Structure formats: C-alpha cells, structure tokens
Structure 1
C-alpha cells in the first residue's frame, strides 16, 4: 500500500465513522432520546442494555477511531434504528442513519476486507488502541509473532507420565512427550527449530540421556514418534549442540496444505522420588519457542507416585534467550500468569480433546510401551490460550 492509499484509508475511515456518529446523534435527537442514559434508552425502546451502552460510548466518545472499541456490528445498529423508527423517528433521519452505516461497511470492505483487519491496520499506525485484558494482548502477540517470524502452530502439546520405577527401587520413571499440531510456515525461507531436548536436575546439572519410546527404523531421528507424526511431515535436520539435541525444520512450502503434526518423546529412568541436595522439586516443562494458539499440558501420575502436594503452574520468560534449564527459572523471570491445573475426569484419565487428534491413542501407546496399567493413573491438565512465546510453562511439585 503506497502513501497516498494509506492516507486515503485513514481519511475515509475517519469520515465514515464520523458519519455514523453524526447520523446516530441526529436519530437520538429526533425522538428526544438521551445518549448519556443508556439504561433509560434500553427501557424506553425495549433494547438490550449492553447494546445501548455501546452506542452511548460511540456517541459520547472524543475520538472517532477509539469508538471502534464499542461500535456494534451492522445487525446491532439496525436493531437500534428499527426500534427508534417504530417509536416515531422521521423517515429521512432513519434513512440517513442507514446510509451512514452502509457507507462505513463499504469503506471497511474496500480498504481492509473486514473490521478486524481494519482495526489491526489502524493500530499498527498508532491511530487506534484496543481496549481489552491480558488474554487479548496475548492473542495479538500471537498474531504479531506469526507475522514477524513466519511460523505458527495450532496447539503445543506437553505430556508427562510418572510411575514407580520398574528397574530402580525407590525411584520413578517418567515418560515425556512433546508435540506440535498444525505447524505451518508463513514464509518459504523460514527454517525453524521444532524441539530441543535437555536433561537437567534442579541445579542445571546434566543427567543421563533418556531411552527411546519406540523402535527406530534405519535413518529415523532419535526420539521422533513417527507413528503419530503426519505422513506429509518433511524431513527434519537433527543436530547435537552444547545446549541439547535439536530438531530443525528447513525452509519449504507455506500454508495449510503444507501444515503437519509432529511428536517426539523419551523415557527418563530412575528419577529421585525424594528430595536431595540437587533435587528439591519434581517438575515437567513445556517450552514455547514459536507462536501457538493454545497449549495442552497434561501430567499423569501413577497412584503410587502421587506427590503429597498438588503441582503448581509457573510460567517463566526467556526474552533474551540463553539457558532455560531449571537453574534459570527464578523469580526474576517469572511471568505474572496465574493458572490452576484442572483435574482430568476418571481413572484412567479422560485425555481426549479435539485440539489433539489421536491423543488417547498416543497415551495408550505409552502405557503399553512402559508396561503400565491405565487404570492406575490420575491426571491434571493445563489448557492455556495463546501462551507467550519465549517462555516455559512448568508443572512443579515438592519432593518429600
């Protein structure tokens, strides 16, 4: 969009908004309705109070663009016009209001194709500021990061399953799964690290490498759960780095037709089930390294490995990169995101969700692989919409 067209978008939108406001003010005045008393307007004209409150904010607002936060849709505005027409508003005033709304809709369609994109465009110019809470801010961050980095995914999956060790008395075994549902590139040149596996105790010390969850065919990368990955998943690059084992997607096709699901997982054997010098807590974590619409993070406990205290949810930010092992998870980088795990119904836990296809089948396969009985487990879930990128969501519980 060149400078002339940008200026035209701004001017046309401002003019159309002022036209709607002016026509509605005339409509209210024609039948002695007071826009500063939305409750009275709702009662008098049998309208929804929320609707008349929004119109009141539009008519009394000081800035045309700011009124976009409250301007009802075309259907809502027609309800107001119809009610006032029925109450005796003059025909020419009613026609003027409908014409102004039609003009605004035409401007939106011509310049932006939709209200949401118009608001995003004005916001990027510093002409419009959305009113909303933390959730909407995280959603905007998802959209912005998707555009900047050129990748996104529908769902980030994290799953931990903990049970008494079958090989080491007095210890626990832990199966860990990570997944991305609906990963897609938005630019063909983008190369992206899908996963990085690291193995540390509370103090950040390396611990022994894990074992595989499935048998590997020749040429398969370690820990990739091929059975649950999409058939169209492109070849990944596998790298051993000082910071851990990395799985990288090279550049390639964009959009929905090239979207795919990917899972990897492993087993950690002989983990401590009691506190020690280097292990005060048990924990599992889901790293958010790309923009995702949602996080499904489940922790399933064998009844004989249940912690005495329910796990807490902590979200740590790593805006400057660097190590993200447990020793780096401090109060200084704890994000103010409050979340409480929800108990999964039943035993075995009911894990099925439309956000993760074949999820129950995946969990059952882990039970089978580990020789565990599904009915011995209980579980909890963290479901977070638009979790922040460059963060780590941790489920943590104190060891006895």
Structure 2
C-alpha cells in the first residue's frame, strides 16, 4: 500500500524502502555477486594448501598441516561473533568494506610465502575477511527481503558463496597439475579481491530496511529481554532450545567441512589420485552444496526448517561412510562421498540460518546470527584439530569414522531440540 511506502524509513539516497526480494532485486543481486568473490577467495585453499604443507614445506604431522585451518576457523568464528556486536556501532556496508581491505594480502601470501608460518598468518587475515564480508552479505540480504523469504535469501547467498568455493577449488586443482602448486593457482584470488572491493563500494547499506521491519514487527521486544551481545550469546548458545539445536548442528556441519578440507586431499593422494582428481572431489562437494541451496532454501520456506536440517545431517553422515566403504575405488569413493556431503550440507545450511532468524527478534537478530555463526565456524577449527589428533594417533580412516558417528548424533539432537517458528510476513 502507498501508506506503507510513504511512512517507511528512507535509505542513504533518500528513497523510501520496502521489504521484499522483488522490491530490492538490484541490491540483492549485487550482494550475491559480492559473495561469489567472498567464496572464491577461500576456495583458493581447498585443493592445494594441505599439499603445500606436506610437499613444499615438508610437514610430516597431520596436525601441523591442518594448523592453517585451525587459524582460519578460530579467527572467522571470533570475527562472526564480533560482527554482530559491531553492527550496533557501524553500518553493515562499512564492515563489508573492512573485510575486503583485510583480505587484500591473502592470495599474494599464499603464492609466495617463504615459510609455513606465513601461510598460517594469511589464514588469520582470511578468517577476518570471511567473518566480516560473509556475515554482512548474509545480514544485508535478510534485511532486504524480510521474514517471508529468509530461506530463499540465505539459500541464494550461500549458493553463490559455496559454488564459488567449489569452482575455485576445481580450477586450482587443474592449474596445479599443469603449473605446480604455487604461485599461479593462488594468484587468481587477486581477481576476487578487486571485484569484491569494487562491488562493496557500490552496494547500499540496509539500515533503513532493518528500521522498517522493526516498525512493523508483530511483537515488540519484551521489556525483560536484553538485546546485548552477552545476553544474546547465552540465549543462542544454550538457553533457547531451538537456537541451541541450531548452534550445535552448525558446529558439527562445519567440523565436517574442516575435516574434509584437510583429510580428503591427503587421503585420496595416498590412494593414488592426482591433483586434478583431488580437485574434482574437492570442487564437487561445495559446488553441489552451493547450487543445491537455491532449491533447499526455497523448500525451507515451504515445508519448514527442521526436516531439512535433520535429513541433511544424516545424509552427510552417509557421505563419510561411502568414502571408506568404496576406498578400494578411490575416485568413485571420493565422488560419491562429495555428492552426499554436498547435498546434505545444501539441505542444512540455509535452513539453519533461517531457523535462527525465525527465533530471533530483529532487535537482537544480528547478534543471534553472529553467535550462531561463531559456533558454526568454530567447527572449522574443531574439525581440523580433531582430524589432526586422530589422524596422527589412529590414521585417516579412523578420523572419517569418528566424523560419521558425530554427524549422525548431531542430526538426532537437532530432531530433539529444534522447533518451527516462522513469523508471519508483513
């Protein structure tokens, strides 16, 4: 209605704002492209960096090789948590730009690092970049579309990012086959940095959209409900049953990703596969994870979040089983495992973010998403740590068995704790 438009807050250009994907398609599209660049930057590492550790720098401990993932995961998790609080002091666009400025050195350090410590340091910067840039693209898309299309919005956002992760992993594997592990495969990251920074300068901030949703939200913030970071962290981590269920599922989901990031290149090269084949496996997983979220995000808006979350975790557990059951045929094992892991993660990822958004009031939603993303991305570090310790002590196969059991258990916990709560669109 025209009255809604007339009384709506205005954006930085003085134009009245509306919520909705159709109403904000241009800004939404720009943010999708930004997240392609965000995903592409982290995709540089998926195929080559574990092998750089073992083949270039001569690391013999799996835990030492996986240390770059631990550095990345810890930094990204803490940055996600801080990003929610920082949205109270800075505009989302400012934080998006800051993330890209921090990411500028990453491809060049990966290409020419003189020691492994430099690689680990680059992953601290990469974690800062991903924590700020990816968090802001998620928050800004959710701001634009409003409650009715959260699943679709998060699905498109994550689809763009993780498809770019997969395509870049595939591309770096093929480049490494022809030109070596460094520097050419890593230098394609310069394209992502330039594109991401340029588009972040163009996109408009979404503070007015948050104000509009707050003005029309069905329920005011309860007087006894603290919207600060500390209170929201406790609420999202354990006090709220559904948010607790989403947080633990997110952690285990990215534990799987961190584990496969480090383990799969070593496992399948040990069984005779070359860099191109490993690149195919490492690329297929996030490509399916990415593309699949376009439909699963929309499906989460239609059938609910919980069915996709629970089913997706169990499908991921089956992917690990396939990796070991068919290991005598390593390429087949890798491809089928990647398909199951990719499709399972595609079910889980947008549904979890949408579920957290459903249960969080707009006044503390950024902090809730920051807390959820903290627990989710601490899974990278946990996965690399668990994988390193188990692989050094018991071997790579035992690590995959442990991941399958943990993922299945997480799916059952999600089934017990998570409930549906989708606010009506306004």
TM-score by length of structure 1 reads 0.25
Larger C-alpha radius of gyration, 1 or 2?
A: 1
Q: Which has the higher strand share?
A: 1
Q: Which has the higher helix share?
A: 2
